[in-house]
Every structure is written in C-alpha cells, then in structure tokens.
Structure 1
Amino acid sequence: MRKVINYSALLVLFALLFSCKEDELIVPYGEGDPTIELKQSPKTALFGDSLQFTVNVADQSIDLSTLKVELLFSEENVSEIKIRTKENGEYSGKLFVPFKKNIPNGTAILRYTLENVQRVKEVHEEQITLSRPDFPYLTLVAGTTKYRMERVATNQYELTQELPMKVSGYIEAPKVGNLGNIIQFGYENNAVVQGINTPIPFSNTSAGVYTIAFNTLTYEASPFLIGYSINGESMKMVNENQYAVDLNVTQGQELEIEGIEGFNAWWLDKDFIREEGGKYYVNAMTGKYRFTADFDKEYMKIEPMSGNDLAHLNADGTGAIWIIGEGIGKPSVAANEVGWDTGKAISLAPMGNKKYQVTVVAGQTIKTDNINFKFFHQKNWGGEFKHTDITTNSDVVFVGDGSNGRDSGNLGLSAGKTLEAGATYVFVVDLSEGNNKAKLTVTKL
C-alpha cells in the first residue's frame, strides 16, 4: 500500500511540472543570473561630491530585489545607498563622498551589488580617484556677521582684521564643481568637526587686529587664547561660555582675577569669596577648589576638590556637602534653579571644623515660600542626609521625615512660615559630632 501512495505522489508532481507553460521556468532556491551594465559611473570625484551613477540591471529567470552601491576607503564602507529593483531596467542615484579629516588624495572603490529574490548576487567594482577640493575661500559665520577667510596655501585659510576678543561661529566651504556640496565645520567635544554648525569659540587675549586660521585637511584651528586667569593661572575653556581653573588656595588669600572685563559687576558667592576695597579674598577654608567663570550667568562658581576630582564627604566629616533639589539656585533661583539636575548641584562652603555653609537671599537665591532640597555627600546621587542623620531647631525650616510633607531629609518651610524677601539667611551644617548626627542651623542676618 505504501508503494502505491509514493508512486501516486510522483505522478502528481510530474503532472504539475509539465503542465506549466513552455515559457515558464521553475528554478530551485539559490539560482538566477543577475547582471549589471554600467551606463554612468564616475572615474574621478572630490571629497564632498554627490556621485551620480546609472546602471542597467536584469535577471531573466528570477525577480530582482535590491541594488546596493557602496563607496569603500581602504575596504571600509564610508557611504552607501540601496535601491529597490522591482523589475529589470535602468536605475540612477547619487552617493555622497564624505569629507573627512586627514584623508589625502587617493583611490577608492565603487562597489555595485545586485541581488535577486533568491539572494543570488552579482558584484561589480570600479576604481575611482578622489581628491580634496581646493576651495577658493571659506566663510566664517558668526551670528549675523559673515567673514571671508582667504586661501593662503593648500588647505589653509585665514582671516586677518580688527576683531573682538571672542568670535564664535561656524565655518562654511562653498560648493566646488557641478556635483559639490556646501561643507560646514562646527565645534564638538573641544574639537572642530565636519557636518555640524555648532559655533567654534575662537578667542584672542584681547580685541584688535589678529588672525583666525583653519586647515581643511587637519581641521587645525586658531586662536584659542584665553586671557582669563586667577593668581596667574590661565583658565581653560569648558565650553563657549565657561572657563575653569583648579587652584590650591589658603583662607584669607587674595585672589587676583585678571582678564574678565566688568568682573566687579558679577554676582559674588560670598561663602567662598569676599570683596574688600575692590580686592577679592578667599572666604572658605584652605584647600583645593575649581573656579569656573560663567560668562552667561556672570558669576564665579567655586567647588571644593579632592585631588583632581570634585570633593565628596569623607567618613570623618571632612570634604564637601552638596545641595540638590528645588527652591534654591545661584546666582539666582529664577535663572538657575538646581532642581533635581545633579549637574547643577551647589556645594556648601567648607568653613573648617567640619562646618559647611551656604548663604542665600530670599527672593533671589532661594524662594520665599517653597523649598524642597536636601544635602548630599557628593555632586550626584548616592550618600545623602536623611531625617535620621540631620536635625534642626529652626522655627522656619523643618527636616522632612516622609510623613510631614517632605521626603526623608528634604527641607521645607514650616506651616505658616515664609522667608522674608530681601533678607539674608545662612544655612550651616555642623558635622562635629558625626556624619549621622548633623545639626542644621538657619540664621537670619
């Protein structure tokens, strides 16, 4: 009986095969014969070009799937495009040639890969000569002002004229040739990069006649001269609006702050610096601090350090205490509230004897009617002062315990209490009896 069934199945299969029309061909999986005929494939191009290509593709026995065109630098795929090939015929497209740093003139490979629905492929490769465009000029775009940078040598461009101390802008190279594209250079991670227009923070030691230079091969740019210093130590750029320096200072030491025009009008953090007769002195205890000049908010942010890192609270009560939370901010709570952004955490000033303080003005650096911040062991999440670690006798500020309107350790204003607008308050955390026996005092001056 089994043999009869098998023979019957074979007869059905043969019948199906021979019942097909003569012009139809049944091909097992993995077969077919895709072909590529290049109609237009560039032999030369410039970095930054859009390569135009045209090909004829076909497979007489199997439906086509895709055409992939790749540009290879030293066997590395740096650009590609995929085209859906629904039927035999002619297809065209454009492939961008990346403009990259430190890539010299040379050859690359254009690889055409045609694939049918059975995943059978036909690959064709063409060699292409690439060279860097010789831009006639560059444009430095600084806001609404455009400066022309002249070509002074191969890949080298300069702008020399009367300029302000700081010129912040991106550089734009014009199209070169019929297939060229505009190329932009911006600033990211303290370096000039291609493909963005984030302003490059050029700066000189002073305003006047000086030269801004840029190399389109190496991306070397200048000048980045910082004219800001404290006690003779130059501040380094953190970003376009911030410059910082780490210094060892002693309590009571005079600070010579140079190069910051109008610094006497900046907001002064009196916990760390005091001003007397137009001079500035260290108010916090002796130690190492990071001084960050914030030109956007016009204040000097000062943070304690341990070695090369921001300080944290040590087991013996030395180190640093930080504030994270709502209702407080420097130089103003309106413009720079800390909130729950750990990057904005405020350091209390270490005053010695394991005491730390922060001075605030109600309505300016602290809200008069609502606060919800707490003290942390570091400028980040982690160690924190909960209600079991800190107490206060203040009749204005209370420590939350999780059931009295604030989470454990968070500070709030007592019912019916507000801070007097314009009044100065000093918050002091005393750890002399231990980190889990902290005492908070709030004094109105």
Structure 2
Amino acid sequence: MKRPILNFLLGTVAVAALYSCKKDEKYVYQIGEPKLEVKSDISAAHFGDSLVFQVHASDQEIALSTVKVQLFFTDDQVSETTIRTKENGDYSGKIFIPFYKNVPNGKATLKFILQNISQKMTEQSYEIDLTRPDFPYLNLVTESKSYKMEKIGTNEYAVTESFPSSVKGYIQAPKVGEQGNPMNFGWVNNTVEIGSTTEIPFTNLTSGVYSIKFNTLTYEASPFINIYLNGNLLSRVDDDYFKGEFELKNGEQVTFDGIDDVKNWWIDPDYFIQKSDGSINFNGINGKYRITVDFKLKYFLVEAMDGANLASLKADGTGAIWIIGEGIGKPGIATNQVGWSPEKALCMMPIGNKKYQITLKAGESIHASNINFKFFHQKNWGGEFGATSISTDNDMIFIGDGTNGRDSGNLGIVSGKSLTLGTSYILTVDLGQGNSKAILTVVKK
C-alpha cells in the first residue's frame, strides 16, 4: 500500500504545482485594473516641441508602477518618456518631438501605457498633428558676430552681407510657441546636422557681398565651393582641400569646375600639360590616381593608386616610387618642402616600362646647391633605395654611401657645383634591370 499512497501524494503535489504556476501567471502577475485618463490637449504640436501632457492614473486594487508615453512616426518609435506613478492621482510630464530633416507636416501617434506593479497594463493611442515651426528668423552665429537670417520663403532663410570668402559659424533657430525649444544646426561629417554648434565652413569663390542661406526642412546650406573633375564631384576634406580618385588616360582633357582662377594655379608639368588656350591635358600613363585640390597653395597634388590604396613599388618594378627628404617640394620648396615627413612624400610619375620621373625647377621646386632626399618604395618608411640598389653617372647629383657626405641612398649636389637657377631638370629612375639595380638619370629640360 505504500507505493500507491506515494504515487498519489506525488501526483497531488504535481497538480498543485501546476495550478500554482497557472495561478501565478494569471493572477499574481496580472491583477488589478489600471485606468488612465489623458486630461490635456495633445491634438497638435510642432516638430522640435517638448509636448506637455497631463494624465490621471488609478488602480483600486494594487499599486501603480509607471506611465510610459511613446511617440511614433508611422511605425517607428522616435521618442519616449517614463513617469513613476506610485499612487493614484494626476501626473504631468513632457515628451520631445524630434525635428528631423525632410519630414513634412503630417500625423503621428502618441501612445500612453499605464502599468501597475503586477505588470498589468492599459494602453491608449491618440493621433497628433505635427507641423514644422515657422521660425520668424534664424541667427548665423560666428566667433565675432551674430547675423540675423531673414525668412525669404517657406523654410528658407538668408543673410546678405559683405563677407570674406570664408565664413565659419553655426545656425540657431529661436523657440517657437510655449512648448518650443531653441535649436542649433552645425557641421557634422561634412554636412549640416541638428544639435551641433560645430562651425559650418561656408565658402565663396571671392570675398564681397553675397548671401548665406539655410533651409530648415532639407538642411541644405550655401554657399560651399564644389569642385568637379570632368563632371565628377570631389570630396571635401576641409576648407582648403578637396580630393577624388579617378581613372585617367594619357592625353585626355581634364576640366576643373568650381575654380575661377585655375589659370593662376601651378600646374604640375609631370602630370599635366597646359595649352595656350588654358585647357589642361593629363600627361601620365593610363591608370588610377588620387587628385587633391589644394586651395592654400593653388595646385593639384597627384598620386598613383593601386585599387583602393596608394600605389607602392611591386617586385616586378611596376607601381610607384616616392620621394622623402630635404631640398625638394611641390609646388615650391619655400612653401611646401617635403622634409622628412612621410605624409608629404612626392609620388614620381610612372611613365611606363618600369620608369618613373619627376620634373623640378632649380630654385623653385628643388634647391640649386643643397639637397638631401631619397627614393622609397611606398609613401612611408619601409622599402627604400640605398647605395647598393641605385646608381647614377650624373656629374651634378651624387648618391650617398654613408661616407661621402650623405647617408646611403640620399641624393646630394656635388661639392662646388649647383643646378642652374630657373632651369628645369627631369630626374628619372629606371628599374628595367630590376629593383636592386635602379639607374638615376638627370636631364636638363
């Protein structure tokens, strides 16, 4: 009789446990009757508002926990706020309505969720009309002065003044309505975004009277200098530099749109040929190149590429050769000497047949009597041409061996001699016999 009694007792415990679980699930965690009443007008608001709401929360059976208020643009939740509701009564709070770009006036959903301590909830949803605030004006805030931007159209604002060619500042929108907030628009990742006071780098081709504009719907701002090479937009690095990567062919015409005075720029004779009519043709071999437009020095820096990376010398002698050192610089040594800075290394122009050249003018892009630079396999430290891997029979420029006044592989001017000021020299490195048997030739142009 003991075993049937034991089985009966175990069965009774199992049933009781199952009943207890069901009871916990059904009653312990879902009891009470939370009730919610929205007592404020929430039918309309502006984007950018902190919408104030008032609710009455109650539950006659069990203590309350929280009221969550959630805002949805279509099906996307864009904002939420939570209020602790320990007792029955009236509660108030705010929920922020985001001011996104390119979101037109329309309807949104505001959801209220009241929950008691047993996790039982009640929900209520309301449709709300949202409109973009009609700012009476905006402010362009610069380091030295604030300029009032007048409204010139729907969402459009402008200030017209005598400005320098470069103006840096952020845009501030005033509070609109009792629930509105002032808003700032600044520069983030080369575009205008809300919530930033990083200065926007407005740029114009010339100083003088011009307009700075901003659209509060699209966040479009102007003016900015946009540079195009053969119709392709270059990426903005900062106020002074733009860059792009292009497949270029020898002899093809190259056009730079967005530069008014390109005729006054320094044109690199290795990579470009400028004709008498002002047109520019590419002079390098067919390939991919990175071109950096330098507004400070007014020239185009050209660097050979291999796929997505800057080119380096390959074992078969193809690729690129770079120059690092003193007494050399483009467009000039006075303004942009390379020095021992790898990030400023010059890329010799690949001319085919494992040959690389650079054209330099004595007194301008190369010192006439004092140089100390060498050839590298990459735009950085690493592979380089030492005294045993490069030679020359030139009577003006010698290659150092560590005992003749220059370190191994470094170039120097022969003592007592100098290059002729104003004369151009073409330096060519020929790897036809292999990377360890490079030959340097120097020819007057």
Q: TM-score, normalised by structure 1?
A: 0.64
- 1:222 paired to 2:222: yes
What 5-or-longer segments of structure 1 have no aligned partner? Answer: 15-25, 399-411
User: How far off its partner does 1:192 sit?
Assistant: 3.2
Structure 1 match to 2:242: 243
Task: Tell me the amino acid that sits aligned with residue 166 of structure 1.
Answer: S
Does the 8 A contact of 2:272 with 2:280 survive in 1?
Answer: yes
- Compute the displacement of 1:146 (Å): 2.2
- For residues 86 and 299 of structure 2, the distance between their equivalents in structure 1, rounded to whole angstroms, comes to 64
- Note the C-alpha offset of 1:272: 6.1
Residues 176-325 of structure 1 aligned to structure 2 (within 5 Å) = 176-226=176-226, 236=234, 238-239=236-237, 240-244=239-243, 259=260, 285-287=284-286, 289-295=289-295, 300-304=300-304, 317-321=317-321
Mapped to 1, the partners of 2:199 and 2:179 lie a distance apart of: 27
* 8 A Cα contact 1:139 1:149, kept in partner: yes
CA contact (8 A) 1:139 1:147 kept: yes
User: Root-mean-square deviation (CA), in Å?
Assistant: 5.5
Q: Matched residues in 1 for 2:316 and 2:186: separation?
A: 47
Q: Counterpart in 2 of 1:350?
A: 350
Aligned to 1:375: 377
Distance in 2 (alpha carbons) for counterparts of 1:281 and 1:128: 59
Structure 2 match to 1:114? 114
Q: 1:59 to 1:187 in 2, by over 3 A?
A: same
Corresponding position: 1:44 with 2:44? yes
User: Would the aligned equivalents of 2:291 and 2:303 in 1 still touch at CA under 8 Å?
Assistant: yes
SS in 2 for 1:40: coil
How far the C-alpha of 1:108 sits from its partner, in A, is 1.2
Deviation at 1:211, TM superposition (A): 2.6
CA distance in 2, matches of 1:28, 1:259: 77
The code of the aligned residue for 1:199 comes to E
How far does residue 113 in structure 1 lie from its aligned partner after superposition?
A: 1.8
Instruction: Name the CA shift for 1:152/1:397 in 2 (closer, same or farther; >3 Å).
Output: farther
How many equivalent residue pairs?
A: 388
Q: Does 1:432 align with 2:432?
A: yes
Cα distance 1:395–1:316, how it changes in 2: closer, same or farther (>3 A)?
Answer: closer
Q: Please report how far the alpha carbon of residue 173 of structure 1 lies from its aligned counterpart in structure 2 after TM superposition.
A: 1.1
Distance 1:284 1:397 in 2: 36
Kept in 2: contact 1:81–1:95 (CA 8 A): yes
CA distance in 2, matches of 1:324, 1:117: 71
Match of 1:217, SS state, is coil
1:139 is matched with which residue? 139
The answer to whether the 8 Å contact 2:73/2:108 transfers is: yes
Q: Structure 1 residues 428, 200: closer, same or farther in 2, change over 3 A?
A: same
1:337 and 1:248 map into 2 onto residues whose CA distance is 28
1:70 maps to 2:70 = yes
Q: Return closer, same or farther for 1:162/1:37 CA change in 2, 3 Å cut-off.
A: same
1:138-185 residue CA offsets vs partner (Å, 9 max, x unmatched):
112233232211112221212223223333332221111122112222
Q: Can you list the C-alpha shifts for 1:48-68, whole angstroms capped at 9, x where unaligned?
A: 111122334344555544432
How many Å separate the matches in 2 of 1:58 and 1:438? 90
Tell me if structure 2 keeps the 8 A contact 1:270–1:283.
no
1:157–1:215 contact (8 Å) kept in structure 2: yes
The structure-2 alpha-carbon separation of the partners of 1:158 and 1:106, relative to structure 1 and needing over 3 Å to count, comes to same
Superimposed CA distance per residue, residues 60-85 of structure 1 (whole angstroms, 9 cap, x where no aligned partner): 55554443211111122111123444
The change in CA–CA distance for 1:151 and 1:256 in structure 2 (over 3 A counts) is closer
Measured at CA, do residues 57 and 348 of structure 1 come closer, stay the same or move farther in structure 2, by a change above 3 Å? farther
Q: For residue 123 of structure 2, what is the aligned residue in structure 1?
A: 123
Question: Do the aligned partners of 1:323 and 1:345 also contact (CA within 8 Å) in 2?
Answer: yes
Distance across 2 between alignment mates of 1:380 and 1:104: 50
**Aligned mates of 1:61, 1:45 — CA distance in 2:** 36
- Contact 2:400 2:412 (8 Å CA) reproduced: no
Maintained 8 Å contact 2:249/2:282? no
What letter matches 1:203 in structure 2? T
Q: Determine the C-alpha separation between the residues in 2 that align with 1:367 and 1:84.
A: 73
Q: Is the 8 A contact 2:68 2:82 kept in 1?
A: yes
Query: Which amino acid in structure 2 is aligned with residue 162 of structure 1?
Result: S
CA spacing shift, 1:305–1:263, aligned 2, 3 Å: farther
**Which residue in 2 is equivalent to 1:82?**
82
Provide the C-alpha distance between the structure 1 equivalents of 2:181 and 2:148, rounded to a whole number of angstroms.
18
